[in-house]
Amino acid sequence: AQSVTQLGSHVSVSEGALVLLRCNYSSSVPPYLFWYVQYPNQGLQLLLKYTTGATLVKGINGFEAEFKKSETSFHLTKPSAHMSDAAEYFCAVSSGAQKLVFGQGTRLTINP
């Protein structure tokens, strides 16, 4: 069975500050890992994904994440937060089937 734990249901940072959203996963097989963003009253938009290869993955809107197998982590970072980054972020894992297992989500607030 697979599972995802997102540390911190709510993260607040100042505009221009570093954004760090934490995600740890559990998987019995090599995982595929994803970060999605959800704005109010909208569906999910893929920010980035790790399937195989390079462990540092760059995504849209300046976000990136690093797959660390030894730590079973896939933390999301952005060097400088923008007001438009305020949203809910979901980390997800898949074993390769078209089935995603999501974390509980982290609501990111940006303070001016």
Partner 1 sequence: KAGVTQTPRYLIKTRGQQVTLSCSPISGHRSVSWYQQTPGQGLQFLFEYFSETQRNKGNFPGRFSGRQFSNSRSEMNVSTLELGDSALYLCASSLGQANYNEQFFGPGTRLTVL
**What are the tokens at 74?**
């896939």
Residue 101 contacts partner 1 per CB under 8 A: yes
Neighbour count for residue 8 (Cβ, 10 Å): 13
Task: Give the residue among 30, 28, 2, 12 at the shortest CA–CA distance from 91.
Answer: 2
Binding segment for partner 1 (CB under 8 A), chosen from 16-24, 64-72, 76-84, 102-110, is 102-110
Alpha-carbon distance of 110 to 52, in angstroms, equals 32
- Contacts with partner 1: how many residues (CB under 8 A)? 23
Contact pick of 19, 47, 90, 106 for partner 1 (by CB under 8 A):
90
Site string for partner 1, 32-51 (x = CB under 8 A): x---x----xxxxxx--x-x
Q: What's the closest the beta carbon of residue 49 comes to partner 1, in angstroms?
A: 7
User: First vs last Cα of the chain: how many Å apart?
Assistant: 41
Residue 94 contacts partner 1 per CB under 8 A: yes
Alpha-carbon distance of 50 to 16, in angstroms, equals 26
Cβ proximity to partner 1: between 13 and 92 the closer is: 92
Q: Are 58 and 107 in contact (CB under 8 A)?
A: no
- The footprint of partner 1 (CB under 8 A) covers 32, 36, 41-46, 49, 51, 90, 92, 94, 96-105
